[in-house]
Amino acid sequence: MTKQIVKVSSKGKWEEGVRTTVHVRDFEPIVLDEPEELGGTDVGANPVEYVLAALSGCTSVVISLIAKELDFKYTDVEFENEGTLDLRGLNGVEGVSPHFQTVTFKVTIETDESDQRLEELKSEVIRRCPVYNLLKDAGITLESPWVKKEPVHTK
Amino acid sequence: MTKQIVKVSSKGKWEEGVRTTVHVRDFEPIVLDEPEELGGTDVGANPVEYVLAALSGCTSVVISLIAKELDFKYTDVEFENEGTLDLRGLNGVEGVSPHFQTVTFKVTIETDESDQRLEELKSEVIRRCPVYNLLKDAGITLESPWVKKEPVHTK
């Protein structure tokens, strides 16, 4: 199968201190900042928080895609993630990665499907999700429990 | 030096189709979606676009940090980046990475500093920037030209 290349892009501008505004297509600008204790004005999430948001959003897209392929029915999904960083990396200490040491990523999915079917969905999502694999390929210790929640059925 | 661990986190919820809303601290929700041709409602940037935004925002933070260390003066910074993805990865073709194949990332910095000082700033930013190193460690082919723009000096 020949390559199916797509391009994505963004343009950004430093505003002041550690605050930056980024434009993607015609959307409202994305504002990235840092909390005051890290020298920012705290008017937007920080860059690594946006990476965590991208991880959830991307997993959501891929769940939708693969659920269609598998005819897997679900009625709700919630995402919670947490990353740890060792600031020594950012501060220049040799041998310490400046990005995530670990990321835990819990996916709670409301479905009547069996555990086996859920496992099938999960393994395919994890194999094909762009942002998940970005973190995995970067050598981050990733833990991702998927939890099933039974839908409430009314009689 | 002992570890300096910081934690970041986010919570998200699938809205419909491929659209997800993510909450980071108390900020306005981050909306992630896909264009209509990818099955979305196109009300927000997509997850990999947010990763590109994070790359610019993160570089901006680290420029600010390291410029202080080096006493490097600058008056403006602009960021432009473009990533390519091969959709075969997302579509499940074995051996094709689902995330970025390449990322080009141009940084235009307005400064009176010498080329050598700019090179010094750049190499330290690249060594210590969390999101840049996330992409690098994931094996993405990264090209990042830094271009100097002379400030306009009024007499």
Asked if A8's CB is within 8 angstroms of B83's CB, the reply is: yes
Which residues in chain A are closer than 8 Å to B131, comparing Cβ atoms?
A: 47-48, 51, 99
Reported as a pLDDT band with limits 50, 70 and 90, residue A152 is confident
**Distance from C-alpha of B20 to C-alpha of A146, rounded to nearest angstrom:** 17
CA distance A84 to B148: 34
Q: How large a percentage of chain A has pLDDT more than 70?
A: 99
Of A74-83, A91-100, B146-155, the poorest mean pLDDT is in B146-155
| Cβ pair A60:B18 closer than 8 A | yes
Q: Is the pLDDT of residue B155 over 80?
A: no
- Measure in Å the smallest separation between the Cα of A155 and chain B Cα atoms: 25
Whole-number percent of chain B with pLDDT over 90: 95
Could you tell me if A108 lies within 8 Å of chain B, comparing CB atoms? no
Residue A136: both structure tokens together: 């995995």
The beta-carbon neighbor of A56 closest among B10, B56, B130 is B10
Q: Between A and B, how many CB-CB pairs are < 8 A? A: 315
Instruction: Please determine, for residue A155, whether its predicted confidence score (pLDDT) is greater than 90.
Output: no
Nearest CA in chain A to B21: A57
Asked if residue A13 has pLDDT above 70, the reply is: yes
B1 touches chain A (CB under 8 A): yes
Q: What digits encode the pLDDT tens for the residues B70-86? A: 999 999 999 999 999 99
The answer to whether the Cβ–Cβ distance between A47 and B58 falls below 8 Å is: yes
Is pTM beyond 0.90? Reply is yes
Is there a contact between A50 and B30 if contact means CB atoms under 8 Å apart?
yes
pLDDT value at residue B153: 79
pLDDT at A69 over 80: yes
DSSP string for residues in A42-106: -SS--HHHHHHHHHHHHHHHHHHHHHHHHT---SEEEEEEEEEEEHHHHTT-TTS-SSEEEEEEE
Q: Residue B154 pLDDT more than 90?
A: no
**Where is B134: in which H helix or E strand?**
helix B130-137
| Chain A nearest C-alpha distance from B154 (Å) | 22
Instruction: Single out the residue of A63, A5, A16 nearest to residue A42, CA to CA.
Output: A16
Is the CB of B128 inside 8 Å of chain A's CB atoms? yes
- pLDDT tens, residue by residue, B50-61: 999 999 999 999
Answer yes or no: is pLDDT of A83 > 90: yes
Q: Which has the higher per-residue pLDDT, A28 or B150?
A: A28
Residue A88 has pLDDT above 90, yes or no: yes
pLDDT confidence bin for A117, thresholds 50/70/90: very high
